[in-house]
Amino acid sequence: MDLDRALMRLLDATTAEVYTKDELRQKLEKSAKTGKPLRVKLGVDPTAPDIHLGHAVVLRKMRAFQDLGHIGVLIIGDYTARVGDPTGRSKTRPQLSDDEIEANAKTYKEQVFRILDPERTEIVCNGDWFKELAFSDVIRLASRFTIARLLERDDFTIRLGKNLPISLHEILYPVMQAYDSVMVKADVELGATEQTFNILMGRQLQDQMGQERQIGLLAPILTGICGSVRMSKSIGNYIGIMEKPSDMFGKTMSIKDELIGEYLRLATDFEASHIERLERALADQSKNPRDIKFEVAKRIVAIYHGDEAADEAASEFERVFSRGMAPSEMPVMTLHEQHITDGRVWIANLLKIAGVATSNSSALGLVRQGAVSLDGKQVTLDHADVKVASGMVLKVGKHRFFNIQLER
């Protein structure tokens, strides 16, 4: 693959900004000439064990580098997790305990190889170098940065404007991330656009410490399925890459129309020309947006579960939601003897056992609103003690189904 094709591949729609394009070209050129692969860094905080499509944009970018023969260096921020990245936060993040960090890092590793090439991936923990630093080293490192520069970033400006607290340790976060770049001798650092500041700090620090500056390659931020803010585990508006095909499909179908183009560009791996065609169809309304969304959903499932699973998810979706039938597979809820009197169960208890409600009040609220049905028959407050038998289907809301099984 020649240089221009490689550049085109790397700088597709999933790249929002490059610092700088010329330097990237030079690095690629030099690598091709010397045969020495580039070291492409990505830092992850082991705070959110579920990797979702938002992370995937950047991970797939790393995979693109790997496919071109370069090395992906994944830094598990076990040490930075103790700090908490202030990026995009209006609040100080909680600091994690060692056990939590270890468990999270483990699940992280299990998931990333759904996307990355294990042969060309290095995984390191930044605790390896941070725990060796003496306080005097930290002071020396900190002296390379100025407060004005560190406070420049939006997150802090906003917080200062709102008179919200900023802890000293949060200021250190970009410093640590920059130091990571130095330690792994990064040629390229990947991140979402929100990482711009941190990544640029890495360039500056490498420069000061006598290294060639890394390239910053920034991916757009994927909007969450609810449509207003970025995809995030803590907000719960995400599609995880380990999720079941049917859930992935359904969640994708529930995004609003305005988001289709974004998901098309950032979350699928369609050819650029195909994406363009679909986007045009969206714009001139020559196709029903639903159908395009359908195609996007199918593609996303196919990336993580294969074509067959995607087809199944699609037909299941049509069956359940287009034709209103019960899904072919639904979670089983088991009722034990102690739950049942004379073959009946109070509906509030049933809903609590199903995990749909946490209290009688909220359960009865659902019943009152007509959201609950058993075998297709709506449950009412007047008949709140319902007869149950194995094989009955409990439906709550539009799309929560449970298969009831009696034990003994």
Does position 315 interact with RNA (CB under 7 A)? The reply is no
Q: Of these, 61, 293, 298, 305, which contacts RNA (CB under 7 A)?
A: 293
* Edge-to-edge strand list for the sheet holding 17-19: 17-19, 215-219, 188-192, 39-44, 71-76, 121-125
Closer residue to RNA in complex, CB, 115/386 = 386
Map residue 110 onto helix, strand or coil. Answer: helix
> Which are the contacts of 197, defined by CB distance < 8 A and separation ≥ 6?
87, 152, 153, 174
Q: Mind giving me the DSSP string for 8-67?
A: HHHTSTT--EEETHHHHHHHHHHHHHH-PPPEEEEEE-TT--S-BHHHHHHHHHHHHHHH
User: Which residue stretch of 30-38, 104-112, 144-152, 248-256 sits at the interface with RNA (rule: CB under 7 A)?
Assistant: 248-256
For residue 285, the one-letter residue type is: Q
Does position 348 interact with RNA (CB under 7 A)? The reply is yes
Does position 370 interact with RNA (CB under 7 A)? The reply is yes
Does position 217 interact with RNA (CB under 7 A)? The reply is no
Element (H, E) at 345: strand 344-346
Find, among 15, 32, 378, the residue nearest to 218 by Cα.
15
Does position 358 interact with RNA (CB under 7 A)? The reply is yes
Rounded distance between C-alpha atoms, residue 311 and residue 308, angstroms: 5
Q: Of these, 302, 366, 388, 394, which contacts RNA (CB under 7 A)?
A: 366
Does position 381 interact with RNA (CB under 7 A)? The reply is yes
Rounded distance between C-alpha atoms, residue 353 and residue 22, angstroms: 60
Q: What is the DSSP secondary structure assignment for residue 68, as one 8-state letter? A: T
Find, among 128, 109, 96, 129, the residue nearest to 44 by Cα.
109
Closer residue to RNA in complex, CB, 136/361 = 361
Does position 331 interact with RNA (CB under 7 A)? The reply is no
Closer residue to RNA in complex, CB, 129/321 = 321
Does position 384 interact with RNA (CB under 7 A)? The reply is yes
User: Which residue stretch of 107-115, 149-157, 329-337, 353-361 sits at the interface with RNA (rule: CB under 7 A)?
Assistant: 353-361
Closer residue to RNA in complex, CB, 51/367 = 367
Q: CA torsion, points 278, 282, 284, 286, in degrees to nearest 10?
A: 70
Site string for RNA, 124-163 (x = CB under 7 A): ------------------------------------x--x
For residue 198, the one-letter residue type is: N
Does position 106 interact with RNA (CB under 7 A)? The reply is no
The CB-of-143 to RNA minimum distance in angstroms stands at: 22
Does position 361 interact with RNA (CB under 7 A)? The reply is yes
- The partner residues of 401 in beta bridges, in order of sequence, read 395
The CB-of-338 to RNA minimum distance in angstroms stands at: 11
Whether the Cβ atoms of residue 191 and residue 216 lie closer than 8 Å to each other: yes
Closer residue to RNA in complex, CB, 59/335 = 335
Q: Of these, 32, 226, 333, 340, which contacts RNA (CB under 7 A)?
A: 226
Q: Of these, 131, 359, 390, 407, which contacts RNA (CB under 7 A)?
A: 359
Rounded distance between C-alpha atoms, residue 241 and residue 251, angstroms: 12
Q: Of these, 288, 328, 334, 390, which contacts RNA (CB under 7 A)?
A: 288
Closer residue to RNA in complex, CB, 217/297 = 297
Interface residues with RNA (CB under 7 A) are 160, 163-166, 226-227, 249-251, 253-257, 288-290, 293, 317, 321-322, 346, 348-349, 358-362, 364-366, 368-371, 381, 384-385, 396-400
